[in-house]
Structures are given as structure tokens and as C-alpha cells.
Homo-oligomer: A and B are copies of this chain.
Amino acid sequence: MVEYSSELLDRTFGALADPTRRQMLAQLSAGETCVTDLARPHAMSLAAVSKHLGVLEKAGLVKRQRNGRVHSMTLDPKPMQEAQAWLDQYRKFWDANLDSFATYLEKLHKQEPKHDDADQ
């Protein structure tokens, strides 16, 4: 099993766990956007938006460019790439259909007896 930076994954998955922040990333996928424009679709204070952006920035999911009083945010896909790479470890579980998945687990059972094996 490949090693991943735990903190990066903690922060990335943590950031993605909020719907507002996911929505903001979707907005940014259309291109560089300033804070006020990012705030527009969200029924919350600018201060709350600023906080969310702080989380996204700390997770490395967005980058900030200050142009005077205007801050433009851009998407940085790298952490999501890492997250997807991590999830890819489990791809073998869903690429198989249901029957071969059950068979797969059965085989695992036979190869490695467990504490609870006696119950089966």
C-alpha cells in the first residue's frame, strides 16, 4: 500500500466535506473568480465566505492572487488529484460486478482465517 501524506488527505477530504466549499470549487472550475463573485450565490455573510476560502486555501485547493483590494481565487487541482489517487486503491472493489465481488471476498476468507472465521 502506497504512502500518502495524511495531513494533505485530512485537509482535502475535510474541505470537500462541506457543500458550500464544493460549490465554490465548482464556481472556480469556470476560471479565476474574485471573492465577491464567489460569495454571490451563497446566502451567507462575506465573513463566512472568507472563512470557507481560508479552509480551501489551507488545503491547497485554491490559490489567491491579490490585485489591490481585489483577491482573485484560482483552482489548484493537485490535492484533488491526490485524493482521487488515494480512492483509486479501492477501484478494484467497484470495477468488479457484484457476483465476482462476493467471490473475491470468499476467496479472501479462505486464504486468511480471521477471529470471526469460526462463526461462518
Q: In the complex, A34 Cα to B74 Cα: how many Å?
A: 44
Q: Report B-chain residues with C-beta under 8 Å of the C-beta of A9.
A: 16-17, 19, 22
Number of copies: 2
Chain A interface, >50% SS class = helix
Q: In the complex, A38 Cα to B30 Cα: how many Å?
A: 43
With an 8 A cutoff between CB atoms, is A105 at the interface?
yes
* Contact status A112-B31, CB under 8 Å: yes
Q: In the complex, A86 Cα to B83 Cα: how many Å?
A: 11
The residue in A6, A13, A19, A119 that gathers the most chain B C-beta atoms within 10 A of its C-beta is A13
Q: Which of B30, B33, B108, B119 contacts A70 (CB 8 A)?
A: B119
User: Residue on B with the closest CB to A31?
Assistant: B108
With an 8 A cutoff between CB atoms, is A26 at the interface?
yes
Q: Report B-chain residues with C-beta under 8 Å of the C-beta of A10.
A: 17-19
- Which residues in A have some Cβ–Cβ distance to B below 8 Å? 1, 6, 9-10, 13-14, 16-19, 22, 25-26, 29-34, 36-37, 67-68, 70, 72, 74-75, 77-78, 80-81, 83-84, 86-91, 93-94, 105, 108-109, 112, 114-116, 119
